[in-house]
Structure 1
Amino acid sequence: MVSHRRTSQHAQTTLTGITVVSAALATAAAALSAPPAAADPAGHPSAGREAAAARVDSLYVEAERATEKYNGAQARTKELRHEVAALQDHTARAQERVNRMRGRLGALAAAQYRSGGIDPTVRLMLSERPDTYLEKAAALDRLGHSQAEELHGLRTAQRRLEQQRSETARKLTELEAGRRAVARHKRDVQRKLATARRLLNALPKRDRAAYDRASRSDGHREAAPDLRGAVPDSGRAAAAVAAVRAAVGRPYAWGSSGPSSFDCSGLTQWAYGRAGVSLPRTSQAQRGAGRTVPPGRMRPGDLVIYRSDASHVGMYVGNGQVVHAPHPGARVRYDPVGMMPISSVTRP
């Protein structure tokens, strides 16, 4: 079972809290799903308690995965908005250039009209689509050198304008798809968190408080571990470690990248941002945002990527500890680096 919760230094108190909470969670899960007899036909209460606790933990993991998908879609739509704005600006400039070129050709046509008529080649230059005429070599033979240059320039400008319009339309379609993906992932996160909240809110007040203590979600800030002798790999890593340690105690909020609240990748992105280093928004992208190092050679400031799908990230701060934003309802905290399966370690 993958879980962000671990036994605290006050082992006896925490284990007692977990026992009380597990029993209450079993009751809550039974009320929300199936009768106790059906949930535990063999008559083993521990099986029901473990299943209920595992379900809450699983919901938090699923919600975090959906959060990282939301973060990725959100980051991509932001990029697309900038790209579309740039394309629209370039398209407007290209349209102005085409208009100026057509204006010069219009002046030439007016001069020819006053002198007795408009040359067919000038009519060609003023047409909306001169391409077909240009395909004929005979037409080029009838053009003067300067007129040919004007027409070639207009043809190139019009083609570029059409390409930019097509690219803008494609990016706008992609942007709309991205917006739908953001909304879909947001609903997914909200649905999973609502289910977890229903399970937890069904607990009696005393048992809910015990759960918060057991999962260290009650705002209690533990003493910082001894990190003396932990030397970061660089000055920027040292600055990032200082930032992430200063964030300990701030609440988890999905989709948030600080400074008052964070999700897992938002925390590491913010901390390295304080050090002047730009990291991608998602834990999956942060995995590739630097040099991969063996877990046995971790240094303070390294990003520790968890789970096979890279859906969680924390920052190693030394002496076997990471700082991370665990899950909704919890706060940024220290935990052992081996709290869950490590996928990889990245040194930005």
Structure 2
Amino acid sequence: MPVIEPNTNKPRFPLRILIWTAVIVFAGLVMILNAFATVQYGNVGLYKTFGKLNDNILAPGIHLKIPFVQSIIQVNVQVTKAETDTSASSKDLQPVSTHVAVNYSVDKASAYKLMNDVGGSFDNVIVNPAIQEIVKEVTARYPAEDLIAKRDIVAGEVRDALTKRLAKYDLLVNDINIVNFKFSDAFDQSIEAKQVAQQQALKAENDLKRVQIEAQQKVAQAQAEAESLKLKKQEVTPELIQLKQIEVQEMAVDKWDGKLPSVTGGAVPFIDVNSFGSTASQPAATESAAGEDAAASGDTAASGSAAADKDAP
């Protein structure tokens, strides 16, 4: 019989075995990788086994799970902002468009209840409709002007009502801000006209107060002047009047050049010549008396001569 020599080129392991080995190793790696899941910071995790949630709350970090059987869903528990625009009517039936921003968060301990009862889209299902309904309700309690003047009070009422509403779903309201109130153009024009009128009225009031103060100042000044004149009048005496007259006459004599004006339009100022002194007046009186005696003597002589002529033949 012929001897069959072994084939030295035949592989030591069959190719089929190598392929299955590679598949098993790959599957093992996949299983190992799927046996771990990471819960990100700011979130909590919930096991979901064949579509059913587990109430075990997972903290941030790496957690084991059954590959291809379990999954971990993450719930954001950080503060989240929800913004919405709401159209409503005020108490005086003015159309109002309100832009509201609400900061809220999910209660960590109640994440399972929220996700099991509402689901992951709770912001659109619960938060936004609640904001719009409550804003409309609160806006209808106030006239349009009060919505502007009492913005903080309105925001407080919205926050309180929204807190009670979202507490049913274990949602926490951290803060609320009314970003803007928007009214109709006609209402904005009326508000502007009213503000202008108020400013004009305030200006008129200030002008009136200023006039009153100035009048009071004038009255006070007049009273002070009258009081001053009264005191001065009490100081005037006959001796002071006579002294002032003498001073005026002396000033007139000092300025007089001894000539009377050639043309006068009124009375000549009176000058008391007796005040010049008794010495100047005595010679004038003596000369006047001598003149009168000479005139009398002349008249007597003339009378005697006339009588002698009459008696002569």
Give the TM-score of the pair, scaled to structure 2.
0.24
Q: Which has the higher contact order (CA 8 A, sep 6+)?
A: 1
More strand by percentage: 2
Question: Greater CA radius of gyration, 1 or 2?
Answer: 2
